[in-house]
Amino acid sequence: MKYTSTRNNSLAVSSSFAIANGISEEGGLFVPEKIPQVSKEFIGELAPLSYKERADKILPLFLTDYGEDEIKGYTSAAYSDNFEGETPAPVKCLRRGVSVLELWHGPTCAFKDMALQLLPYLLTGAAKRELGGKQSVILVATSGDTGKAALEGFKDVDGTKILVFFPDRGVSPMQKLQMTTQEGNNVGVSAIEGNFDDAQTGVKAIFTDPAVKARLAENNMSFSSANSINWGRLVPQIVYYFSAYADLIKQGVIENGDKINFTVPTGNFGNILAAYYALKMGLPVNRLICASNENDVLTEFLTTGRYNRVRKFHTTVSPSMDILISSNLERLIFHLLGDDSDETKKLFASLSENGEYTVSEELLGKIKSVFAAGCCNDAETVETIAKTYKENRYLSDTHTGVAIRVYNDYAERTGDKTPTVIVSTASPYKFSKAVLGALTGGCFKSESEFDMVSELEEITGIPAPAPLRGLKGKTPRFTGVCKKEDMRKEVYGLLGIEG
């Protein structure tokens, strides 16, 4: 199976090439040329299997140049006791006809672990084949969750080094502590003076600097990318949509062949795009419901066909969804245009030049036949967390709170009774302040992050995940704050190269 690019559909490369390189040369995203199809029997056979075994059935359909045994080795390492509990992606009943797929039992307590625990293996395997065994250097600019998940995934992985930059004043106290206490011999973490855009711009500049690339090449190293446009981040996410469906069969909630809905709290459109690939492979899906916070650019696009990033940016209680440019949407549009890269290129040129694009009525029709969309503000999110806890004894984080709210509105508006899975993307304890505030009406006994975790535990009787509890009292290992112009020096320092 070959991969092509959303901006040059004459390209045909292997999955290893796509994963090792991250993004195509002309700026397009790698996509599968043909989407593999599965039968009803195939899906039925997943029901008795473990998560790892389900992954072993699905991943080889896309990663045809990896050996099946190679993949089995990778999934054994990625989906084992680094996830708390019996399975990495449990499905729990919220209320009759509505379930929750929890994707946050990994080492960093957010759904990005589902992909980033596996990606380092996929990447080093690919680098052996495609980059002549050069050492992979991963640079990440993060606004919070991605940085920590990438660090945990790549720590002590042979043949890799990882350096994460985060904005000094742009991450939550818990997120900062998670990163600055990171263990591992191949990792570096640095705060930078400035905001997330400064970190992102700095990383991009280094990534594309020919002088830096040449220095790396002299030292038998090469840059790779762990961000969410890498196909190696998307393909592991397809697995849990099948896994959730298989669990619903096992639980007797549905019969094989019944259609279900998924509601996904969305930012960069990676998670929900994986659901779309699952649907296109043959998973019986009725609607994909895209949930946004006050940054409602996707709600507008999916309902009107106009994407307009020129709007106010809102900082919300669900920060991982505070995004105005959803990069992975480009893949959906390419597919809906019948894999037309010329047309895709035009739309995205318009986005970067004019800040907007509008798709045809025909394409909007195709979107609406699969997607529904909605958004809510912080007050509605917090109200929903409180209500869901009170009525269903289910404690959700803020991102999941957005999804529950948007689904409830959707169900009321449409009367759709299709069994629905709400995708839960983070532990409530990762956003303790907002979640505790939702339950106490905004009263806090203490402003300390760990006191809030303890109070939330006392009120709900639900223990915080071990990786977050374990942070208490840990001494930060990376305390440096570097200036924007010193980021290159930091990179050379970590790699042990003279600058």
Ligand X SMILES: *Cc1c(COP(=O)(O)O)cnc(C)c1O
Q: Which residue ranges make up the site for ligand X (CB under 6 A)?
A: 110-112, 145, 228, 265-271, 320-321, 399, 425-426
Nearer to ligand X, 161 or 399 (CB): 399
Pick from 394, 424, 321: nearest CA to 103: 424
Nearer to ligand X, 56 or 330 (CB): 330
For residues 204 and 4, give the distance between their C-alpha atoms in angstroms, rounded to a whole number: 23
CB 263 within 8 A of CB 291: yes
User: In this structure, what is the dihedral angle of CA atoms 175, 51, 321, 473, given to the nearest 10 degrees?
Assistant: -10
CB 273 within 8 A of CB 234: yes
Catalytic position from the list 52, 112, 161, 176: 112
Nearer to ligand X, 5 or 146 (CB): 146
For residues 303 and 231, give the distance between their C-alpha atoms in angstroms, rounded to a whole number: 27
Nearer to ligand X, 22 or 125 (CB): 22
Nearer to ligand X, 9 or 263 (CB): 263
- The token pair at 217 is 């090449």
Query: From the CB of 265, what's the least distance to ligand X, in Å?
Result: 5
Cross-strand pairs, 222: 136
Q: Is 92 annotated in the active site?
A: no
- If you search the block for the tokens 């975790």, which residue do you land on? 453
Q: Which residues of 195-218 are buried (b: 16+ CB within 10 A; e: fewer)?
A: ebebbbebbeebbeeeebeebbee
Q: What is the DSSP letter of 320?
A: G
Considering just the CA atoms, what is the radius of gyration of the chain in Å?
Answer: 22
CB 361 within 8 A of CB 305: yes
φ, ψ for residue 421, nearest 5 deg: -110, 125
Query: From the CB of 367, what's the least distance to ligand X, in Å?
Result: 16
Nearer to ligand X, 74 or 269 (CB): 269
Nearer to ligand X, 66 or 394 (CB): 394
Query: From the CB of 398, what's the least distance to ligand X, in Å?
Result: 8
Backbone torsion region of residue 156, taken as left when φ is above 0, otherwise alpha when ψ lies between -120 and 50, otherwise beta: left
Nearer to ligand X, 178 or 266 (CB): 266
* DSSP of 324-379: S--TTHHHHHHHHTTS-HHHHHHHHHHHHHHSEEE--HHHHHHHHHHEEEEE--HH
Query: From the CB of 303, what's the least distance to ligand X, in Å?
Result: 18
Nearer to ligand X, 215 or 335 (CB): 335
For residues 228 and 30, give the distance between their C-alpha atoms in angstroms, rounded to a whole number: 12
Query: From the CB of 159, what's the least distance to ligand X, in Å?
Result: 26
Query: From the CB of 228, what's the least distance to ligand X, in Å?
Result: 6
Query: From the CB of 376, what's the least distance to ligand X, in Å?
Result: 14
Query: From the CB of 399, what's the least distance to ligand X, in Å?
Result: 4
**H helix or E strand, kind and range, residue 189:** strand 187-192
Query: From the CB of 425, what's the least distance to ligand X, in Å?
Result: 3
Q: How long is the chain?
A: 499
**SS3 readout for 193-253:** CCCHHHHHHHHHHHHCCHHHHHHHHHCCEEEECCCCCCHHHHHHHHHHHHHHHHHHHHCCC
Helix 361-370 and helix 297-304: axis angle, to 10°? 110
- The token pair at 482 is 């570097």
- Tell how many helices (H) and how many strands (E) occur in the chain: 22, 16
> What residues act catalytically?
112
